[in-house]
Amino acid sequence: MSQFTLNLIFIGLSFAIYIGIAIWARAGSTAEFYAANRGVSPVMNGMATAADWMSAASFISMAGLIAFTGFDNSTYLMGWTGGYVLLAMLLAPYLRKFGKFTVPEFIGDRFYSQTARIIGVVCLLVISITYVIGQMTGVGVTFSRYLEVSNSTGLWIGAALVFCYAVLGGMKGITYTQVAQYVVLIIAYTIPAVFIAMQLTGHVLPQTGLFGTLNDGGGKFLTTLDQVVTDLGFTSYTGHHKSTLDMVLFTLALMIGTAGLPHVIIRFFTVPKVSDARKSAGWALVFIALLYTVAPAVGAMSRFNLTATMWPGAHSGETFSQSAVSLDAIQNDADKQWMRNWQVTGLLNWEDKNGDGLIQYYNEAGAANEPLAAVIAEQGLVGNELTTVNNDIMVLANPEIANLPGWVIAIVAAGGLAAALSTAAGLLLAISGAVSHDLIKGAINPGISEKGELFAARVSMAVSILVATILGLNPPGFAAQTVALAFGLAASSIFPVLMMGIFSKRINKQGAIWGMLAGIISTLVYIFTYKGWFFIADTNLLADTAANWLFGISPASFGVVGALINFGVAYVVSNATEEPPVEVQELVESIRVPRGAGDAVAH
């Protein structure tokens, strides 16, 4: 059976399951569409939250970023998992106790302001649309390879599938679909990782294989990998090379961004009790850890296997002599089939610049090191000839590079799509709820019927899918990079206002409004200055390099600064204006302090 047929079978079966669940769990009311009628158990919600959370950025792109950078990109792991601790301890139970459907609804009621609610909607839309671009990027990457279609065609296929089960099922259908998607994605991520860990180090667990010894006597795996990449002119894999300040700020941006992501927060509105919200976060961490503890091994081993394709001596740890593969081998050898497969997608490419029939692979920026410089001079090399290696292909291509069975490759394809589609559905639901519940019902037409609101929710979701797909055709970076920008926006806008809304009785509507605006505008201006205005190429004011960044702070890390601006502006404005009404202050007290908590002291 051909690989294409296997891909179709596994992807088709998974799609059939998702659509079947959506039909079975079709939402018939707004309570089911927005919050699954608050009937989801903590374990089930934890699994659905993990799938909602582990997006294309986690499944496809994160290991690719670790593969090409190494230790410095461990910030993704620390920031994203640390954010769930903040969410579980500081936000989830209190927001569930408040008992609303959406994040802007909480903001509007807590700060007794329709304006604050609408600004919350705007912030949510900016965050969620930016985030969903990354998911659609992952969908396009996966479809383009495994269904042998163009990247754009893959995007439209993915959009059609999300339309089928998200518009139909709402939160109720999405929840149970995400449970199935979690099972698919965790199996798809773990099985090839186990195969490759055994192939390279003999360890069944990839987590221990990362620190093991190569099977063919090449020494410690990480030590050999360091030698391989430095011989090719790249920086050491396990070394620390980025600015410590930027790494700290980036980790914090991911943490507080995680705690402020609307599509994650709304998952905690679906459980029956307040205590279940915290339990859900705990279970989500368990399910997330099953993938996140494997990701460093997947990244390191995929980098090693990619290099070994170009440099057969890498496995034995021999000193660099030549890193090249012949054009004839690429065209004819079975073990180079993966290169031909990915070249079709445009995400991997090469060029024989010096016409010697070989494709050389090295880092041009590090070409001054020995013994690389001697080989370059001897052979008259004129540049790295592996011209394109998109980070997002590493997890998906790794099983092919390692010559794993076809069914494993097909499972990985299904898993990559499950990860991207599960998060896309959650984001689109957050967008839909903000538009239909907060904007249409909350501001434009408060008297709308439940049937009309449900119809508006489905229409707004359909429009959101269309917009996300169009934007996904020209994303501003790799999936994980685009997603990281969304975290910065969430950190600078939503997280501060939720924290102040729960833990401060003094912050009033004026403070919340001006704080949100100051936080998100400052972050957007900083991002657009370096990334380009409205994600259009060649419109950035300054080159996106560390030398140009303000105090060495990258655009993806600026969310922390935006959050501090938000907190500061809200505090100053609130203290310069009147206190919130007494009933609002009592509301804050009732959210934060359990009923009857002071009785024992009083008596």
Q: Is the pLDDT of residue 9 over 60?
A: yes
pLDDT (average), residues 358-373:
81
Q: What is the pLDDT of residue 535?
A: 45
586 occurs within a structural domain:
yes
Q: Which of 57-66, 73-82, 165-174, 294-303 has the lowest mean pLDDT?
A: 165-174
308 occurs within a structural domain:
no
| Secondary structure (3-state) at 360 | strand
- pLDDT per position as a tens digit, 101-140: 788 999 999 999 999 999 999 998 888 887 777 777 777 7
Query: Predicted confidence band at 172 (pLDDT cuts at 50, 70, 90)?
Result: confident
Q: Which of 204-213, 393-402, 469-478 has the lowest mean pLDDT?
A: 469-478
338 occurs within a structural domain:
no
319 occurs within a structural domain:
no
389 or 514, which is more confident: 514
Q: 326: part of which helix (H) or strand (E)?
A: strand 324-326
Q: What is the pLDDT of residue 321?
A: 64
Q: What is the pLDDT of residue 37?
A: 77
599 occurs within a structural domain:
no
**Residue 383 and residue 54: Cα distance in Å, rounded?**
37
**What's the distance, Cα to Cα, between the start and end of the chain in Å?**
76
Share of residues in the chain with pLDDT > 90 (%): 24
Q: Is the pLDDT of residue 263 over 70?
A: yes
pLDDT (average), residues 38-60:
83
314 occurs within a structural domain:
no
Q: Is the pLDDT of residue 243 over 90?
A: no
Q: What is the pLDDT of residue 233?
A: 87
**Residue 257 and residue 485: Cα distance in Å, rounded?**
10
**Residue 436 and residue 497: Cα distance in Å, rounded?**
22
Range of the domain at 294: 3-301+400-592
Query: Predicted confidence band at 156 (pLDDT cuts at 50, 70, 90)?
Result: confident
For residue 475, whether the previous peptide bond is cis, meaning omega lies within 30 degrees of 0, is: no
Q: What is the pLDDT of residue 536?
A: 47
Do 123 and 489 touch, CB atoms closer than 8 A?
yes
377 occurs within a structural domain:
no
Question: How large is the greatest C-alpha to C-alpha distance in the chain, in angstroms?
Answer: 90
Q: What is the pLDDT of residue 602?
A: 37
**What's the domain count of the chain?**
1
Q: Estimate the crossing angle of helix 168-201 against helix 295-310, to 10 degrees.
A: 60
Q: Which CATH number characterizes residue 74's domain?
A: 1.20.1730.10
Q: Which two tokens stand for residue 219?
A: 């020494």
Residues 6 or more apart whose Cβ sits within 8 Å of residue 21? 165, 169, 173, 176, 177, 180
177 occurs within a structural domain:
yes
Share of residues in the chain with pLDDT > 70 (%): 91
Length of the chain, please?
A: 603
DSSP 8-state secondary structure symbol assigned to residue 388? E
Q: 3-state SS of the chain: helix, strand, coil percent to 5?
A: 75, 0, 25
| Secondary structure (3-state) at 593 | coil
Query: For the chain, what is the mean pLDDT?
Result: 84
Nearest residue to 202 via CA among 211, 213, 191: 213
Write out 156-185 in H/E/C secondary structure.
HHHHHHHHHHHHHHHHHHHHHHHHHHHHHH
